[in-house]
Structure 1
Amino acid sequence: MSTAESHQTPNVVDQAAADGLHDQWFVACTGSELRNGKPRGVKILGLGVVLFRQRSGEVVALIDQCVHRGTRLSAGKLADDCLVCPYHGWRYDGQGQVVHIPTIDGAQPAATPGDYPFRQRRLPVREQDGLIWVYRGDDSAVADSVPIFRMPFHCEKPWQSYYMVNTFDGDIGMLAQNFMDVPHTVFVHDGIFRSSRGKAMEATVALNAQSVEVTYHDGSDKIGMMDWLTNPHHEPLVHTDRFFAPNVTRCDYRWGSLSGFLIVSQITPIDARSSRVYTYIAYRFPLPRWVLRALRPLLHLYTHIVIQQDVRIMRAHREGLDNAPGFEVHNVRADVVHVGIERLLAAVRRGESLPEAQRGEKPMRFEL
């Protein structure tokens, strides 16, 4: 059988209903997770993607499936800047073009690769702020028109920052609501992040075209266990939480102009039931740099413990939803943030901004 007559299995395509959620950039991995000389497989909204870094430093993203027999390419290896399928050795260059077929060319690549009519789909990829992003949409031509979220204060002195990566049970909506939810902190993170004070908390919730923003009005509120580190000058806390559609939350805690701590969560949906979350921690405190360097392992441990508490509660949340079908949410006044996130995500799936009638500011009050 000649090469031109060979049967080509179609590329994998996502069978989920097309919606605006697919036409977005998602974090595939951190830059440090993509090691030179080794491909990495990830899933984004059910689609398998293989990433590899070429000798030039450029990152390539292809659909993780060999066009020959459908084998997972991320189980293969790199050779001469090409991705080699582990099953029959088909080689793919950085454009997804098959450039060598051992059963035709022999064991060694030909000096001039054959002009094969086989190609795997290449996805748009960007490297920014220490993260590798992949555009999930089917129309690569529109990728440049979709903005990528910039990590605040990344590599800006005196701010210091790092990433944590965890897999959560839950979709974007469930996780964004958790990361923006203050009431749960006195139960899930009691004694380590925030404790109940039996006091009313008031806030203003602004629903905008592409975001939900919450401003809390309690300068005496406290987070964490280390006031001597975060707020040695006893400044009032300025706390704001924001959800940027479709998949980013940002929580800022500021004490005056010299002290701040922020958490940005990039949510990458693996499938309908689970997500990878890239948690970016940035901080600045009014202490000498050598003291902050010495405290860095303690800060890493502290944030790891807090995140793992959220991982466990989201697992329990997912298990509870699975226990009986047909569950209906019952919202109360403190859930206006959750409702706003749900409305924004519904608009994203329709390919729209939040309707004008649903925008505006609302007060929120609850007891902590």
Structure 2
Amino acid sequence: MSASLNTTFETPCDGTLEQWYVACAQKELRKNTPYRAKILGLNLVLFRQGDGQVAALLDQCVHRGTRLSAGKISDNCLVCPYHGWRYDAQGHVVHIPSVGDKQCSSPSGEYRYKQRHFAVQELDGLIWVYTGAGDPQAKPVFRLPAYADQRWQSYFMINTFEADVGSLVQNFMDVPHTVFVHEGIFRSSTGRSMDATLACKARSIEVTYHDDGDKIGVMNWLSNPDGEPLVHTDRFFAPNVTRCDYQWGERSAFLIISQITPIDSRQSRVYTYIAYRFRLPRWVLRMLRPFIHLYTRIVIRQDVKIIQAHRQGLDNAPDFKPSNVQADAIHVGVEQLLAAVRLGEDLPPAQRRESRIRFEL
């Protein structure tokens, strides 16, 4: 896997900030308990109000700089643990215990103190925060296919990786590594050739694999008992979402969608959404659910481990330049698209292309 471009998180480009990122899963934000998140080097605090709406503020009291996520929730407000200053969902200070209600009031009758708040959306089991200063409505949240669809089984896996977004996108879009990192469980080396079509577009990358006989590890007996040809497509939606589709006929499919939240320049939190439907009765699938969960968790833990080794290798030579072969055309496309995103732009027309690539497995 090749190295990704460096990102400076102290002063990130607008294109990096002007995005929706997953701050946490719904189940992680408990009632009456502040939740601490970190996105692009920003420490945030999320809390749920009495009506169920979620608010997100910069995790710092404007009084003495204390971490607000160490506080509590009272009367729909976030209370600083140090001196009890209270914040509403918009970041306004609504009560200062040490001075009362009059001494620090503005002519409008409101305190003049305010902390930055962030736009929030809660959809498909996840809570997103918009980190930019622009119009959040101008950027759509990536909706999860088949979520809450009774014909599908689905669940989330949440992991922290020692990598930036670019390195992770390249890993999730990379087929050649599967025969080494996931040997015997996802794919095994056979020496055969695989062809694929790479399409680099304005805001996305799509790879369609042309190998009807490809098999997905030990789950082939479950996913494809009829021996249907596999339709495999990987996509990257800039700046931080990958989607891998495996489909066998009309009744069997397996989706892996990764929402990558950059914590800082060295770490990312990945919310992996797994959705599947196989031609078996629902009660049988319910019985198999623990096995499927275990299988996918083993695979992703293998990726966590290899990504750590990759990070350690890059640290050993900070000026490292990757050596690319034909199979790495996907990596090059990812780097080019992310470079454009950091500038707040689409992929330049000169770099948009469709090409055929071939590599051995």
TM-score band by shorter chain is over 0.9
- 1:259-338 correspondence runs (5 A): 259-338=252-331
- 1:190-209 correspondence runs (5 A): 190-209=183-202
Aligned mate of 1:236, from 229, 237, 240: 229
How many matched pairs? 347
Distance 1:315 1:23, change over 3 A: same
Q: Equivalent residue for 1:61?
A: 56
Aligned mate of 2:92, from 89, 97, 101: 97
Identity across aligned pairs (percent)?
A: 66
Aligned mate of 1:44, from 35, 39, 45: 39
Deviation at 1:114, TM superposition (A): 6.5
Deviation at 1:349, TM superposition (A): 0.9
2: CA distance, partners of 1:155 / 1:321: 41
Residue aligned with 2:335, SS: helix
Higher relative contact order (CA 8 A, sep 6+): 2
2: CA distance, partners of 1:212 / 1:338: 10
2: CA distance, partners of 1:201 / 1:339: 19
Q: Equivalent residue for 1:158?
A: 151
Question: Would you say 1:120 and 2:132 are equivalent positions?
Answer: no
2: CA distance, partners of 1:15 / 1:71: 20
8 A Cα contact 2:257 2:273, kept in partner: yes
Letter aligned with residue 299 of structure 2: V
Deviation at 1:157, TM superposition (A): 2.4
Deviation at 1:95, TM superposition (A): 1.5
Letter aligned with residue 281 of structure 2: P
8 A Cα contact 2:22 2:129, kept in partner: yes
Q: Equivalent residue for 2:82?
A: 87
Q: Equivalent residue for 1:16?
A: 11
1: CA distance, partners of 2:12 / 2:131: 14
8 A Cα contact 1:176 1:243, kept in partner: yes
Letter aligned with residue 333 of structure 1: Q
Residue aligned with 2:307, SS: helix
8 A Cα contact 2:233 2:245, kept in partner: yes
2: CA distance, partners of 1:209 / 1:226: 35
Question: Would you say 1:213 and 2:206 are equivalent positions?
Answer: yes
Deviation at 1:351, TM superposition (A): 1.1
- 1:174-185 correspondence runs (5 A): 174-185=167-178
8 A Cα contact 1:34 1:52, kept in partner: yes
8 A Cα contact 1:99 1:114, kept in partner: no
2: CA distance, partners of 1:22 / 1:126: 16
Deviation at 1:293, TM superposition (A): 0.6
2: CA distance, partners of 1:21 / 1:15: 12
Q: Return 349-358 or 178-187, whichever deviates more.
A: 349-358
Question: Would you say 1:351 and 2:340 are equivalent positions?
Answer: no
Residue aligned with 1:315, SS: helix
Residue aligned with 2:311, SS: helix
Question: Would you say 1:130 and 2:130 are equivalent positions?
Answer: no
CA deviation digits over 1:201-240, x for unaligned, max 9? 1101001111110000001000120222100111011000
Deviation above 3 Å: which 4+ runs of structure 1?
none
Letter aligned with residue 348 of structure 1: V
TM-score (norm 2): 0.94
Aligned mate of 1:71, from 60, 66, 71: 66
Residue aligned with 1:89, SS: coil
Which ranges in structure 1 are unaligned for 5 or more consecutive residues?
1-13, 107-112
TM-score (norm 1): 0.92
Distance 1:355 1:87, change over 3 A: same
